[in-house]
Structure 1
């Protein structure tokens, strides 16, 4: 009978233990310096080398030339404790799962009283130590606390918290960890060379994925794959079929079906999963892993490719980027929630195929609705949308293929510089506006009533309160995307014919000089006015660079009042008593802006220093450099602008409850 792979390659020295330097290095140093203790606790996940390290430690301690970190391998003790050796009479391995009571502890105490027959120490290795009962631990407590000079204890467990505290406090605790693929991969390649096995590209990644970071489990999987190799070659298809993973092509096909709103293609994928004999739960797990990779790419871009899942590298990265761009952050987050909910409900499911079909229905329904709540039904008496509504409205700037609502990063704010900061993803979520106070769209855009203004028309209500005649009605589901694409400067009440820029100039002119200098046209080149997510009228301010926005967030007037509050008071004089302000998430120079509240103390101190230097005329050419916020970088997760809180992500006020 062939010896299992994990047994043939069990290490005999600490140098042979893979990926556990946090344990092996201190132990080797303690052995060389003669600073051993009488009790050790090795903890960690299964198959990470706890028991093997305990045997190696016993071998190092009882070596004829030791204690040493490099056992000679020639003395009787080293030979007995080597891989395949008969074992030593002075090294006792006890399975605590079946010897966990008071009687077993009493027997161990009696055996510990006798001197070793041959070696330097009598060593007791208690495997699965967490299985010992509390009474058994209490019976061992005295001898573990004050053992004879010739006795050493090594406890190995996957659950150190179940070892009572009085025992743990008398041991040196060394935690073992799962082995990362960067360390395990080269080791598996070495084993394959020794075994004259040639795995196809991606096979070792599948084996490591199935092993879950456990060295023993991974070697067991690799051993099974080697047995089924054909002429010394492990094929990728055979590995996928044996381990039950879903082919990447099926996962990609499912994502593309969601992007294209193609129900036939998505249910075709489910049919392939069922007929092909793939595990439905594993398919959902793999689908969730793909969505996770797309989220990482959306948030961090190309620099995140190194942290993608182990199967992502086998897929064409261009396809991953295409799918991430087509869906966008909002849709991907909603998809992840739907899949995760389904995955939790599949535990013990009687009909997993039905769960897959219901998952497909939810994903298709979400893609049709833009992965947002469905629009509310119109009020009784409200005119029905005109037939012949525009079916091919232009998608939102940066939106997903197929018109996913909120598919662009940051919604309206991330679509372009100066866009609505945190505007509503779906107008059905905000409060309905009456024709008297609804802001009208620019010429050629969708107005507040959900109709399309003719190109070249003013798109505003007249003085008598009559709305401009609508050319075509727009479906409620298409309103947010079309509004985001066309609206750039929404106006306030119809009685005021001034543009947004004219009102903003008037508000700036009314500010005291100490505050005005922070919001001049060179500091705030672009403003936009429109509803936020709560339906409040919001003035979005796009600063020229992040440092200008930080200076505004930190500024106060002569009375100690924050600049943001002073500016909002002036804005309300021009735009209405309910108006709020919010800075855009992207500066005019293209850099992402980090909130001053989320800057580290070191970064905040540097910002304040740069602001002082700028006021003194000593600033460098690029005052935003050095903060880790270069163009193209992604900020930390921050609240979307204009959420309606008392303060926004950069200190600008909105006044909640208005």
Structure 2
């Protein structure tokens, strides 16, 4: 008996209506209003990161323009008529999806310009969806300009790109631009919850948050990761198995390292790093989670009412409150800035473990370092003590080539210039001064 081919979650749950698109309400509402009012632009530019609904929204717009269940363009395509089904299945001859990476040369655009002159064969509009449009060559963009500015009344262009800065301004100025946003962790976890409920998958909330965090705002990435998790765990997904599969670090390790940095306990930090290496965890991902955690501490330290801004954390609010009690905002900010500044070094290091260990040890030492304001105050105090040197007579040199002795005030001024713009200085320098 022939078995139906399996359809992956990302394709099975692709949005079919504007209301199905996740996290892009500002775009879908605008498009629905345009369709309802009959104010349809001739060219659209969809920009944003991968996997957040650009191509799906373009297909929905194509269906809305050509749905035969309505007398004209409609904000709510039926998904049942021949036109909607053909567009959904990718068989509509009047809706052309063009890959900008493989059709990037000027001859491809010339062919498009020749074909666009002819009226649609079956549908109401000819719709050209050019994906990754930033991959077109300069000559191809120039060939597209005139057609994009004054296309035939039966033609609609939808350009999609993950790198809008590479699209010439002459192109963007001829389009109605929409910027798609990355989906928040909580909203993404809720969307995954609907999928797992419909698929009869038993999964806890924390596992969904793990998947949402790893996807970094991409719906397609989250669906693909969920597919992998189900393949590994089966119909009953547990938090431990998700952590093992994704290489997620447990809350205990994160909490231990944070406490070790704040209390300057190097041995605890090194033990956690060693454990992560033995378990095969991604050290770069772990370091990013540390940076994110210190960001959350800063937000909570700034205002106790800012808890709604902290959504991407595996530690409870009680733990966060305990960690910020005995530390000032400046201390936390100093550590955060240092971790953020050293992240590229760990990312590109040949020895990421050693680099991260040294970075964590240095971060733990920041509390014992003097701030620039304290150093500047010390130097100014010393300057006042040696101010009498300013009243001393100038040294007359018998030899023009002889160098005058350096005055203490000159040293202080030079030190201020050196330290200007620096953040920290070892306390030993302060005591020596």
Range class of TM-score, shorter chain: 0.7 to 0.9
Distance 1:61 1:427, change over 3 A: closer
Contact 2:346 2:356 in 1 (8 A): no
Structure 2 residue matching 1:154: 3-state secondary structure? strand
Aligned-partner Cα distance in 2 for 1:429–1:226: 63
Instruction: Specify the alignment match of 2:78 in structure 1.
Output: 72
How much does 1:257 deviate? Answer: 2.1
How far residue 182 of structure 1 moved from its aligned partner, in angstroms, is 4.0
Q: Judging changes above 3 Å, is the alpha-carbon distance between structure 1 residues 428 and 239 closer, same or farther for their aligned structure 2 residues?
A: farther
Match of 2:370 in 1: 372
Q: What residue is the counterpart of 1:458 in the other structure? A: none
Unpaired segments ≥5 residues, structure 1: 375-421, 436-533, 535-658
Give the aligned partner of residue 381 of structure 2. 431
* Structure 1 position 299 matched with structure 2 position 308: no
Unaligned runs of 5+ in 2: 386-411, 413-433
Question: Does the CA-based 8 Å contact 1:267-1:357 persist in structure 2?
Answer: yes
Q: What is the alpha-carbon distance in structure 2 between the residues aligned to residue 89 and residue 9 of structure 1?
A: 24
2:53 counterpart (45, 49, 54): 49
Q: Deviations over 1:92-124 (max 9, x none)?
A: 111111111110011111111222111111211
Please tell me whether the aligned partners of residues 263 and 364 of structure 2 are also in contact (alpha carbons under 8 angstroms): no
List aligned pairs for 1:231-310, cutoff 5 A: 232-300=235-303, 302-310=304-312
Considering Cα pairs closer than 8 Å and 6+ residues apart, tell me whether 1 or 2 has the greater RCO: 2
Per-residue deviation, residues 320-372 of structure 1 (Å, max 9, x unmatched): 222112232232222223322331211321111211221233134334xx232
Structure 1 347/35 Cα, relative in aligned 2: closer, same or farther at 3 Å? same
Q: Is the 8 A contact 1:342 1:359 kept in 2?
A: yes
Tell me, yes or no, if structure 1 residue 96 matches structure 2 residue 46: no
> Residues 294, 114 of structure 1: CA spacing in aligned structure 2 closer, same or farther, 3 A cutoff?
same
For the residues of structure 1 that align with 2:169 and 2:347, how far apart are their CA atoms?
35
Please give the secondary structure, in 2, of the residue aligned with 1:156: strand
**2 CA distance for matches of 1:340 and 1:40?**
37
Q: Aligned ranges for residues 12-23 of structure 1 at < 5 Å?
A: 12-23=16-27
Determine the C-alpha separation between the residues in 2 that align with 1:42 and 1:258.
Answer: 43
Closer, same or farther: CA 241–430 of 1 in aligned 2, 3 Å: farther
| Contact 1:334 1:371 (C-alpha < 8 Å) held by counterparts | no
From 97, 121, 124, the equivalent of 2:125 is 121
Task: Check whether the contact 1:259–1:326 (CA below 8 A) recurs between aligned residues.
Answer: no
Distance in 1 separating the partners of 2:369 and 2:249: 26
Contact 2:261 2:361 in 1 (8 A): no
- CA 1:169–1:201 in 2, change beyond 3 Å: closer, same or farther? closer
SS of 2:326's equivalent in the other structure is helix
**DSSP-derived class of the 2:51 partner:** coil
The aligned counterpart of 2:363 is 363
Give the alignment's TM-score, normalised by structure 1.
Answer: 0.55
**TM-score normalised to structure 2 length:** 0.81
CA gap of 1:149–1:182, structure 2 versus 1, over 3 A, is: same
Q: SS of 1:174's equivalent? A: strand
Counterpart-to-counterpart distance in 2, 1:433 and 1:130: 59
Residue 428 (structure 1) shift: 6.1
Note the aligned Cα RMSD (angstroms): 2.6
Change in 2 beyond 3 A, CA 1:429/1:193: farther
Matches within 5 A, 1:386-425: 424=374
- State the Cα distance separating 1:181 from its structure 2 match: 3.1
For 1:169 and 1:365, the matched residues in 2 are separated by 52
Q: Tell me if the contact between 1:14 and 1:24 (Cα under 8 Å) persists in the aligned partners.
A: yes
Counting helix residues as a fraction of each chain, which structure ranks higher? 2
Range 206-215 or range 320-329, more displaced: 320-329
1:106 matched residue in structure 2: 110
- Cα deviation for residue 79 of structure 1 reads 1.4
Residue 91 of structure 1 and its aligned partner are, at CA, apart by 0.7
**Per the alignment, in what secondary structure is the counterpart of residue 99 of structure 1?**
coil
Q: Work out which of the two has the higher radius of gyration on C-alpha atoms and give 1 or 2.
A: 1
Residues 264/176 of structure 1: CA separation in 2 closer, same or farther (3 Å cut): closer
* Alignment match, 2:327: 327
Q: Does the 8 Å contact 1:105/1:136 carry over to 2?
A: yes
CA offset digits 1:39-81 (Å, max 9, x no partner): 2222222111111111111111111123111222332111112
CA distance in 1 between counterparts of 2:305 and 2:241 reads 33
- Cα contact 2:46–2:158 (8 A) shared by 1: yes
Q: 1:260 to 1:42 in 2, by over 3 A?
A: closer
Q: How many pairs are equivalent?
A: 382
- Paired with 1:78 and 1:11, the residues of 2 have a C-alpha distance of 13
Q: CA deviation at 1:253?
A: 0.7
